[in-house]
Amino acid sequence: MKEAVKKKVDDIVAGLDGGKKPEDFASAAHEDPYVFIMEAEGKLLVHPSLVGQSLKEKAGPVYDEVAKGTAAGDYVRYEWGGAKKCTYSRKTKSGLIVGCGYNE
């Protein structure tokens, strides 16, 4: 699973860095595991249920972890809804944050 989420994120980052728009990847929010794309300050552009909302406001501790993603990509861990999560988070050239994770 770890490599599958990394590949999803890396492919989307390459697409965004190549000129595609976040909405071009909206369908990835409805896959399992889902992908999210957010602005650096937390506004979710692609997400299964929170598009247009702020992850920073909805779930500050989760935002704090996924915002740690770098241009090279990083795995971050946090707890959400009683489950331990591992998310691969990576920044695009324009500063968007793309992530995908799974339960540990």
Level-2 CATH architecture, domain 2-103: 2-Layer Sandwich (3.30)
Task: Spell out the domain ranges in the chain.
Answer: 2-103
The answer for residues whose C-beta is within 8 angstroms of residue 69's C-beta and 6 or more apart is 76, 88, 89, 90, 91, 97, 98, 99
> What per-residue confidence (pLDDT) applies to 69?
93
Total-model pTM: 0.95
> What per-residue confidence (pLDDT) applies to 55?
96
> What per-residue confidence (pLDDT) applies to 81?
84
Reported as a single tens digit per residue, the pLDDT across 34-90 is: 999 999 999 999 999 999 999 999 999 999 999 999 999 999 999 988 999 999 999
